Structure 1
Amino acid sequence: MFANEYYCLVAGLKEYSLDADTKGFDARTIVSEILEGVTAADAREVRLLYGYYDCENMAALRAGRSAHNPLGNLTREELEEELKAPKRLPEAVARVVRAYADPEGEDAEEVDTAQRFEKELFGAYYAACAKAGSHFLREWSAFDRNLRNVSAAVTARAAGRAVEEVVVGDGDVADQLQRSSAADFGLRGELPYIDAVIAAVNDEANLVEKEHKIDLVRWNEATELATFDYFDINAILSYLARINIVARWTQLDAARGREMFARLMAELDGKELIDKK
C-alpha cells in the first residue's frame, strides 16, 4: 500500500506563524486545517495522536478536576457523555471506560479495575496506538510511553513509592523499570535518552527547566522518527507532535514558545524537496 503524499499541505505548513504579541497561537486551528486536507484514513491517525489529550481530560473529569486541555478531540461536554456511554473513543479506551463504569460487567473481565483508572486508561490508549497504520504514530507512542514511564519511575523511586504503581503498560522496558535497582534501571543500552531524562528529573530543582529539558528529548525524537518522511502522514504527525510542544510552551513561557516555533520553521526548510522526489 502506497502512502498518500501531501505536497501542497506540507509546503503550506510554514505559512503558520506565531504572533509575537500574544501568549500563544491556535494549535486547534492548525489541526483542523490539516484534518480537512488529508484522507479519512489519515485523519483517523491524526485524531488518534490527539486521543492522548482526551484520556488526560477524561481522567481529570472523572476525578472532579476542572482542568481541560483544548488539544483533545472532544469537548468537556462530549467527554461527559463518553464517560456514560462511550461511542467515539478507540475501542480499547472505551472498554476501560465501560469496565470502570460497571465493574461487574463483561468488559471488566479484560480490565484490571483494581488499578487506578488513569493507569488502565493510558495503557489502553498506547495499545491502540501500537496498532496504528502510521509507523510514526506506532513508534512515537512507544517512545512517549517509555519516556513518561522513566520520568514517573525516577520520581517514584526518589519519593520512596512503588514504581509499579506509576508504570503504564507492559513490555520489556516497563518490566525493567519495575524490577531493576540500577541507577539507570539497566536501560542505558536500550533507551539512549535515559541519562538525560534521569538527570532532568533528579538534578533540576526548577520544574519549568526540568520540563523543558524533557521536552527537548521529545522534540528530537519527533524529528528523528520522520527523518525520511517528507510529504506523507508521518511527516504531518511529526510536525503536529512538535506543534503540541510549541503550544504547551506558549502557555508556560511565551518567549521559549516562540523560540521553539522558529526552530520548527527552520527544520521544515529541509522538507522542501519536491523536485528531488
Structure 2
Amino acid sequence: MFGSDYYCLVAGLREYALDADTKGFDARAIVAEILDGVSARDAKQVRLLYGYYDCENLAALRAGRAAHNPLGLLTREELAAELKSPKRLPEAVARVVRAYADPEGEDAEQVDTAQRFERALFGAYYAACERAGGDFLRAWSEFDRTLRNIAAAVSARAAGRNVGEAVVGGGDVAEQLQRSSASDFGLRGELPYIDAVIAAVNEEANLVEKERKIDRIRWREAEELAAFDYFDIDAILSYLVRVNLVARWSRLDPAHGREMFARLVEALDGRKLIENKQ
C-alpha cells in the first residue's frame, strides 16, 4: 500500500487532536477512528499493537487484580470469556491461555508452563508481533521487549533476584542480559539507549520521574522508526504509540500529558509532512 493512501486520514487525525485539546484527550476514540479508516489488513496490525494492553489486562484478571488498562481493546467481560475459551486473541497468545488452563492438554506440550503465566503470555505476544507485524510493528515490538527486559534485568540484579526469571523471550540480547556481569550487560555497543535506561532505573528514586525518562526513550524510538513514513500504516502505528504515551501521562501527570500532546499535534502538521516527503 502506498504511503499516500492514508493522507486524508492523517490530516483528519490532526484536526481531531486539535479538537481533543479542548474536549479532553480520548485515545480510544482515536483508535476507533483509525480502525474505521484503514484497510482490513492494516486494522489487524493496529489490533496487534493494542494486544499488549489486552495481555496486560488478561494477566491482571487471571491473578485476581483489579487493575485494568483502558487502552486494551477487550473489556473485562470479554477477557473473562477469553480465559475460558480464547477466540479473539492472537493464536500464540491463545495457546498460552489454553496451556495454563489445561496443563495436561495438547497446547501444554508447546508451552513451558513452569514459568510464570505473565512471562509466557508476553513472550507469546512479542513472538506474534515478530511473525505477523509489518516493518514498524516488528521493529517496535523488538525494541519494546528489549527496553522492558533491560529495565527488568537491572531491577532484578539490584534486588539479588534471578535475572533469567525477569527476562521475556529469547534471542541474543535476552541471553546477554541473563549471562553478563558487566554493568551494561556488554550491550553498550549494540543498544544506543541502554545507558539511559540503566541510569533511569538505578539512579532515579522518584518512580514517576523514572517512568518519564523511560517514556522519552520510547517516544524518540517511535519517531525514529517511522522517520521516513508519512501517510502509510507504519506512520499511523508510530503515531498510535505516541497516543498511548500521551494517554498514560494524561492520567499520571496532566501537565506532562499536555506537553506530550502538544508534541503529538506538531508531529501531525500536514505541511511539514508534505515538505519532508518531497
Q: Same fold (TM over 0.5)?
A: yes
Name the CA distance, whole Å, in 2 between partners of 1:119 and 1:67.
18
Task: Tell me the C-alpha RMSD between the 2 structures.
Answer: 1.7
1:12 matched to 2:12: yes
Unaligned runs of 5+ in 1: none
1:273 matched to 2:274: yes
Q: Which residue of 1 aligns with 2:135?
A: 135
Alignment identity in percent? Answer: 76
**Residue correspondences, number:** 276
2:268 aligns to what SS in structure 1? helix
Name the CA distance, whole Å, in 2 between partners of 1:134 and 1:124.
17
Displacement of 1:132 after TM fit?
2.6
- What's the TM-score once normalised by structure 2's chain length? 0.95
Residues 1:193 and 1:53: Cα distance change in structure 2 (over 3 Å): same
Q: Say if 2:3 and 2:229, in contact at 8 Å, map to a contact too.
A: no
Name the CA distance, whole Å, in 2 between partners of 1:239 and 1:21.
20
Name the CA distance, whole Å, in 2 between partners of 1:185 and 1:95.
32
After TM superposition, the structure 1 stretch with the greater mean CA deviation from structure 2, 130-139 or 89-98, is: 130-139
Displacement of 1:239 after TM fit?
0.1
Q: Say if 1:53 and 1:72, in contact at 8 Å, map to a contact too.
A: yes
- Deviation string 1:24-48 (CA, Å, 9 cap, x unpaired) is 5210000000000000000000000
Name the CA distance, whole Å, in 2 between partners of 1:214 and 1:5.
33
- Deviation string 1:127-162 (CA, Å, 9 cap, x unpaired) is 000013420000000000000000000000000000
Name the CA distance, whole Å, in 1 between partners of 2:88 and 2:251.
29
Displacement of 1:82 after TM fit?
0.2
Q: Which residue of 1 aligns with 2:37?
A: 37
Residues 1:275 and 1:206: Cα distance change in structure 2 (over 3 Å): closer
Q: Say if 2:20 and 2:26, in contact at 8 Å, map to a contact too.
A: no
Unaligned runs of 5+ in 2: none
Q: Which residue of 2 aligns with 1:170?
A: 170
Q: Which residue of 2 aligns with 1:126?
A: 126
1:35 aligns to what SS in structure 2? helix
Amino acid in the other structure paired with 1:207: L
After TM superposition, the structure 1 stretch with the greater mean CA deviation from structure 2, 206-215 or 267-276, is: 267-276
Map 1:1-277 to 2 at 5 A. 5-15=5-15, 16-17=17-18, 25-269=25-269, 272-273=273-274
Name the CA distance, whole Å, in 2 between partners of 1:17 and 1:168.
38
Residues 1:6 and 1:191: Cα distance change in structure 2 (over 3 Å): same
Name the CA distance, whole Å, in 2 between partners of 1:182 and 1:192.
16
Residues 1:37 and 1:116: Cα distance change in structure 2 (over 3 Å): same
Residues 1:164 and 1:243: Cα distance change in structure 2 (over 3 Å): same
Residues 1:275 and 1:205: Cα distance change in structure 2 (over 3 Å): closer
Displacement of 1:17 after TM fit?
3.2
Q: Say if 2:123 and 2:169, in contact at 8 Å, map to a contact too.
A: yes
Q: Say if 2:123 and 2:168, in contact at 8 Å, map to a contact too.
A: yes
Q: Say if 1:230 and 1:271, in contact at 8 Å, map to a contact too.
A: no
After TM superposition, the structure 1 stretch with the greater mean CA deviation from structure 2, 247-256 or 261-270, is: 261-270
- Deviation string 1:175-196 (CA, Å, 9 cap, x unpaired) is 0000000000000011110000
1:272 aligns to what SS in structure 2? helix
- Deviation string 1:216-253 (CA, Å, 9 cap, x unpaired) is 00000000000010100000000000000000000000
1:150 aligns to what SS in structure 2? helix
- What's the TM-score once normalised by structure 1's chain length? 0.96
After TM superposition, the structure 1 stretch with the greater mean CA deviation from structure 2, 99-108 or 125-134, is: 125-134
In terms of fraction of residues, the more helix-rich structure is 2
